[in-house]
Amino acid sequence: MTGPDDFAIVTHELTRRFGDQFAVNGVALHVPRGAFYGFVGPNGAGKSTTINILTGMLAQSAGTARILGLDLDAESLAIKRRIGVVPDGPHLFDRLTGAEQLRFAARIRGLDRRTADQRTDALLGSMDLLGEAGKLIGSYSHGMRKKLSLACALIHNPELLFLDEPFEGIDVVATRHIRDILARLIASGHTTVFLTSHILEVVEKLCTHIGIIAGGRLALEGALDALRAGDGGHVRTLEDRFLEVVGAPAEKPALDWLGAGERT
């Protein structure tokens, strides 16, 4: 029997409209504490909108959400103290240095100066950013910003980590390193990770639980192993399951002219 305290995230009828269009439509999420939850879906399915609502960037049009047992609307500051967020676009303060940005993120969360300095150095080292620590973020590449953004999200040792497409624009080495950090985080049992991605292989390797969103609606949710299990003990890949839920690609125009001799 599971109670509300067993979940890091619970949403009820979460809805977000842009004009007449529903970006998220009545989503009911149940993310268990300590889970590595992969939130997947096709482009434009509502993944980023959902994560933006859950992290306070966007207001929902309807519905409720409880994060770490707290009400999203009434206790948003208390929630923000306990979560870490890596948004899709790593928007940081361009005119701070990497080290200054990290210290700012630590101090604003109430860490004392000494702890902030120690963790800043440790995270910069871990993210291979020590050499760039004194440079303005404005001169950082996309990958460096993404790593710094992750460092900012981790500096206060959050209970819940939101990662929106964390591997996009990151090289193979950095991706591997970040995956290792996340795996360690989950193994500690202290942290829940909510990750959106459209790279199913990564999600399949890392996640313990999966939610599939399509057209703004939560199409499927559950433990990864349970979702992959088919009839007669047959185990399917996440991609198979995903295509089953989202639907196989519809019939598309043939594009016969593509690659043909005529070039204009």
Q: How far is the CB of 159 from other proteins (least distance, A)?
A: 13
Say how far apart CA 121 and CA 103 lie, in whole Å. Answer: 10
Under DSSP, the state recorded for 105 is: H
Q: How far is the CB of 69 from other proteins (least distance, A)?
A: 16
Q: Please give the radius of gyration of the chain, using alpha carbons only, rounded to the nearest integer.
A: 20
**Distance between first and last Cα of the chain:** 65
Q: Of 47 and 156, which has the nearer Cβ to other proteins?
A: 156
Written in H, E and C, the secondary structure of 21-34 is: EEEEEEECCEEECC
Q: Of 136 and 245, which has the nearer Cβ to other proteins?
A: 136
Interface positions with other proteins (CB under 8 A): 55-59, 77-81, 85, 87, 89, 91-97, 99-100, 103-105, 107-110, 113, 133-136, 138-139
Residue 64 near residue 73 (C-beta atoms within 8 A)? yes
Q: How far is the CB of 59 from other proteins (least distance, A)?
A: 7
Q: Of 134 and 247, which has the nearer Cβ to other proteins?
A: 134
Q: Of 191 and 241, which has the nearer Cβ to other proteins?
A: 191
Say how far apart CA 35 and CA 207 lie, in whole Å. Answer: 8
Q: How far is the CB of 51 from other proteins (least distance, A)?
A: 11
Q: How far is the CB of 79 from other proteins (least distance, A)?
A: 8
Q: How far is the CB of 72 from other proteins (least distance, A)?
A: 13
| Residue 79 parent element (H or E) | helix 76-82
Q: Of 18 and 184, which has the nearer Cβ to other proteins?
A: 18
Residue 14 near residue 29 (C-beta atoms within 8 A)? yes
List the beta strands (DSSP E) in 160-262: 160-164, 192-197, 209-214, 217-223
List CB contacts of 126: < 8 A, sequence separation 6 or more.
151, 177, 181
Q: Of 61 and 208, which has the nearer Cβ to other proteins?
A: 61
